[in-house]
């Protein structure tokens, strides 16, 4: 199967990276190998195969979420650098 035509300069531009000529040659070959492998995978017959996220069933193994004893607000906020109305006060991070 022939290697796909890869426009490594365009891909580097999209990724906002600068590549040396040696890096371009290396990455073009590596990306070509990946694309050839993807083409091989595309040709696999998957008719009748159910989509799945895991190869075997996964069940929630966590314990039930049941409210229990809590700490008093004063103790929780004791080491807070800043507080307001019984809450942690933090610097604004969104403009």
95 within some domain? no
pLDDT single digits (tens) 21-44: 999 999 999 999 999 999 999 999
Domain hosting residue 27, numbered range: 8-42
57 within some domain? no
34 within some domain? yes
Output the pTM of the full model.
Answer: 0.47
47 within some domain? no
- Among 45, 11, 47, 43, which residue's Cα sits nearest to residue 30? 11
| H-helix or E-strand spanning residue 37 | helix 21-42
Domain count for the chain? 1
pLDDT single digits (tens) 61-89: 788 889 999 999 999 999 999 999 999 99
């Amino acid at each position: 199967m022939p290697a796909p035509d890869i426009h490594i300069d365009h891909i580097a531009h999209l990724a906002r990276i600068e590549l040396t000529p040696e890096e371009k040659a290396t990455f073009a070959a590596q990306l070509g190998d990946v694309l050839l492998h993807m083409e091989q995978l595309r040709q696999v017959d998957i008719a009748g195969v159910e989509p799945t996220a895991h190869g075997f069933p996964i069940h929630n193994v966590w314990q039930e979420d049941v409210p229990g004893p809590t700490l008093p607000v004063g103790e929780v906020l004791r080491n807070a650098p800043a507080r307001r109305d019984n809450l942690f006060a933090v610097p604004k991070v969104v403009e």
